[in-house]
């Protein structure tokens, strides 16, 4: 019997991250698409206002700036969009951590006390259960959370906690990630948390995805197969009344469904006899 390699919580948030990445790519595409045209217009008609240059655009009057100023507006808007993409990606990571901890507690039938910040709660539980997860990956989650806080609160000064992290952890984080992958644009020790470049933002979203996947794998390793079988079985018996019938044919059908769900949801490779034994069922 294999051990769990994932949880069903992962895909929900991976899909959300994929959506963030798609929107980020669209933002960058549109930014580049208009850059040359706006630069040409600013060169040809530098003092004319947007309402004159774009008379058919209903919002041109609202912004009402000269074309030379519109270029600066475009750059500021890009930075804001990149920051929002980053913050939303980190929010998905933090929501995932909370959800996967709750799932762990539900499967193990052991209440897990959650507290802010959620990544510190995760760290405490993983250390308690001696789960093999790289400490610098957990420090990366903290970096992402603290930087995201600066973005969503519009902070103009570094928080003491973020400053402390940059001082003590930035060199180690830089070395750790550069040894694992290419991280273009990302300098962990940079002291401008609300300023983003396209390459850096793409890298940050990638790091969020890697952190999510590796945390999910670590938490999955805490789930005993017998817990998973019992949880899936309870759900089937609750939702599928026809599976409650106590005869070998129906029991066999229920066991096969548990086997399928164990594989698709948790990456388990098991025999029907293992499931039957764990549940005290007979396939005869």
Regions of the chain with pLDDT less than 50: none
- Which residues is 49 bridged to in the sheet? 66
- DSSP string over 75-133: HHHHHHHHHHHHHHHHHHHHHHHHHHHHHHHHHHT------SSHHHHHHHHHHHTT---
For residue 20, the model assigns a pLDDT of: 96
pTM of the model: 0.92
- Other beta carbons within 10 angstroms of residue 284's beta carbon come to 7
- Other beta carbons within 10 angstroms of residue 83's beta carbon come to 21
Model confidence over 235-278: pLDDT tens digits? Answer: 999 988 888 888 889 888 999 999 999 999 999 999 999 999 99
């Amino acid at each position: 019997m294999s051990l769990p390699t994932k949880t069903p919580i992962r895909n929900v948030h991976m899909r959300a991250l994929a959506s963030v990445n798609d929107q980020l790519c669209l933002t960058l595409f549109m930014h580049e698409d208009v850059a040359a045209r706006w630069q040409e217009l600013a060169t040809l008609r530098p003092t004319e206002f947007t309402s004159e240059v774009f008379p058919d655009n209903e919002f041109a009057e609202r912004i009402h700036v000269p074309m030379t100023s519109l270029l600066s507006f475009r750059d500021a808007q890009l930075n804001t969009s990149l920051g929002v993409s980053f913050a939303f990606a980190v929010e998905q990571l933090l929501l995932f951590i909370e959800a996967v901890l709750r799932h762990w507690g539900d499967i193990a039938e052991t209440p897990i006390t959650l507290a802010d910040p959620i990544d510190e709660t995760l760290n405490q539980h993983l250390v308690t259960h001696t789960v093999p997860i790289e400490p610098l990956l957990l420090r990366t989650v903290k970096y992402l959370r603290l930087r995201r806080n600066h973005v969503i609160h519009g902070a103009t000064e570094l928080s003491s906690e973020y400053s402390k992290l940059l001082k003590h952890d930035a060199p180690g984080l830089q070395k750790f990630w550069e040894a694992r992958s290419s991280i273009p644009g990302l300098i962990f020790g940079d002291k401008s948390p609300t300023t983003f470049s396209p390459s850096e933002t793409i890298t940050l979203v990638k790091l969020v995805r890697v952190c999510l996947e590796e945390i999910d794998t670590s938490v999955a390793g805490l789930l005993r197969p017998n817990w998973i079988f019992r949880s899936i079985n309870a759900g089937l018996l609750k939702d599928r009344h026809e599976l409650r019938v106590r005869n070998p044919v129906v029991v066999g059908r229920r066991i096969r469904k548990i086997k399928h769900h164990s594989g698709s949801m948790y990456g388990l490779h098991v025999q029907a006899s293992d499931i039957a034994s764990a549940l005290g069922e007979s396939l005869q």
